[in-house]
Amino acid sequence: MTYNLQGKRIYVAGHRGMVGSAVVRRLASEGCEVITADRARADLKRQSEVEAFFKSERPDGVIMAAAKVGGILANDLYPAEFLYDNLMIESNIVHAAHEADVEKFLFLGSSCIYPKYAEQPIREDSLLTGALEPTNEWYAIAKIAGIKLAQSYRKQYGHDYISAMPTNLYGPGDNFDLKTSHVMPAIIRKVHEAKMNGDKEVVVWGTGTPRREFLHSDDCADALVFLFKNYSAPEHVNVGSGEDVSILELTQIVCEVVGYEGQVVNDLSKPDGTPRKLMSADVLRGLGWQPKIGLKEGILNAYSWYLENH
Ligand code: GFB
C-alpha cells in the first residue's frame, strides 16, 4: 500500500454525479472522513471559490470526479462547454490542491483521450499517437490536459498525483435524458418506454456496429479507491472491464433484461463515433484489481434504479 486512508480527510469532487456518488459509497468502509461541496459552497469553475474551500477544509486527499460529461450528441452540440468547463474545473482543483498541500490526488479522465483508430485493446502508451474522434475531441483535449496537469505537478513539486482513465460507465444516478445521455441509459429508457407503450420498434442511433466497453460505476469506484491506495506513478491507468460488445448486442441484452420483444431499428442520421473503444486492462489487473459486476447484472441494477427514480 502506498497511501493509507485511515483517519484521512478525503474531498470527493463531483459527489452528486454517478461516479462521485459511487466513490462516496465506496469510501464509507475505509475509515476516512469524506468531504463534499455543493455548488453554493464552491462553484468549481471559479478559482477563488475553489481556493477558499480548500483553505478552510484542508483535505488530505482528493478524488476528482467532477466534470461536464455527456454522450456523443451532447459532446458534438456543446463543444465550448465541454472544453471550457472541464479545463476550468480541473485547473482550479489541481492548483488549489497544490496550494493546500494535499498529499494524494486522483484525476479521472476518459477513454476518449485515445486516438480514434488506436490499436485495440488500447494500451496506456497510445496516448497522443494519432488524431482524436471529432465528435468528442473537445472533451478529450480537456481530459488530456488534466492528465498533463497531474503529471506536471508531480514532476515540478514531487506531489503524489495520479490519473485513471475509465471506460464507458453506467449505473445508479446516471443521466437518462435522451438528448444528452450516454448510450446505456438511453437504451434502457428507450426499451423500457417501447415496452410500456406497446411499440413494435425501438430506435438505436447509428449503425449499431460500434463496439464499446462498459463498466458499472460501483466497479469503477472500487478501482479508483484501489489505485488511490496502491498506485503512485506519473503514467495514467486504464479502468475497464476488458470486454466489449457492439451497440446492437448491448441493445439485445437490455431487451432481455427489460423483457421487450420488438424490433431494433437504426437511425442512420446519428453518428457512430469511434468504431471500437476497448482498453487494455493489463496494467490494472497486474496491480491486482478485477471487476466484480457482470454486464447483465449491472444493467439489471441500473434498470432497477431507473424504475425507482423516474
Ligand atoms: O455512449 P455514447 O453516447 O458515446 O454512444 P461514445 C456510444 C455509441 O452508441 C455511439 C450509439 O455509436 C452511438 O451512436 N447509440 C445508439 C447511442 N443509440 C444511442 C442513443 O440513444 N444515445 C446515445 N448517446 N448513443 C462518448 C464521448 O463517446 O463516450 C464522451 O462522446 C465520453 O466524450 C464517453 O468519452 C465515455 O462512447 O461514442
Over residues 255-303, the pLDDT tens digits come to 999 999 999 999 999 999 999 999 999 999 999 999 999 999 999 999 9
Give me 68's grid cell: 461536464
Of the chain, the end-to-end C-alpha distance in Å amounts to 41
Look at ligand 1, atom 20, and give the residue with the nearest C-alpha.
Answer: 183
Task: Please answer whether residues 203 and 262 qualify as being in contact, where contact means their C-beta atoms are separated by less than 8 angstroms.
Answer: no
Share of the chain above pLDDT 90, in %: 99
Mean of the pLDDT values across residues 70-93? Answer: 97
Alpha carbon distance 226, 269 (integer Å): 41
Distance between Cα 179 and ligand 1 center (Å): 11
- pLDDT tens for residues 203-234? 999 999 999 999 999 999 999 999 999 999 99
pLDDT of residue 255: 98
- Residue 122 DSSP one-character state: B
What is the enclosing helix (H) or strand (E) of 157? Answer: helix 137-157
- Mean pLDDT of the 63-75 span: 98
**Nearest CA-CA partner of 108 in 180, 161, 174, 48:** 161
- Identify the burial level of 98 via C-beta atoms within 10 angstroms of its C-beta, where 0-12 means exposed, 13-18 middle and 19 or more buried: middle
Q: Which grid cell is 98?
A: 497544490
Q: What confidence score (pLDDT) does residue 286 get?
A: 98
Residue to probe by mutation, ligand 1, list 18, 69, 72, 204, most atoms within 8 Å of CB: 72
What would the mean pLDDT of 3-25 be, rounded to a whole number? 98
Task: For residue 253, report the distance from its CA to the centre of ligand 1, in Å.
Answer: 17
The pLDDT value given to residue 163: 98
**What's the Cα-to-Cα distance from 259 to each of 25, 40, 65, 92, 146, rounded to whole Å?**
30, 42, 34, 46, 41
Beta-strand pair 160-166/104-108: parallel
pLDDT of residue 2 exceeding 90: no
Query: CA–CA separation, 231 vs 224, rounded Å?
Result: 10
Residues having CB within 6 Å of any atom of ligand 1: 71-73, 75, 110, 112, 135-136, 139, 168, 181-183, 186, 204-206, 210, 212, 247, 270-274
pLDDT at residue 1, as a whole number: 78
Percent of the residues in the chain that have a pLDDT greater than 70, as a whole number: 100
Closest CA to 277 of 135, 82, 116, 129: 116
Distance 183 CA to ligand 1 centre (A): 5
Q: Is the pTM of this model over 0.95?
A: yes
What is the arithmetic mean of pLDDT over 143-169?
98
Instruction: Please identify every residue annotated as catalytic.
Output: 139
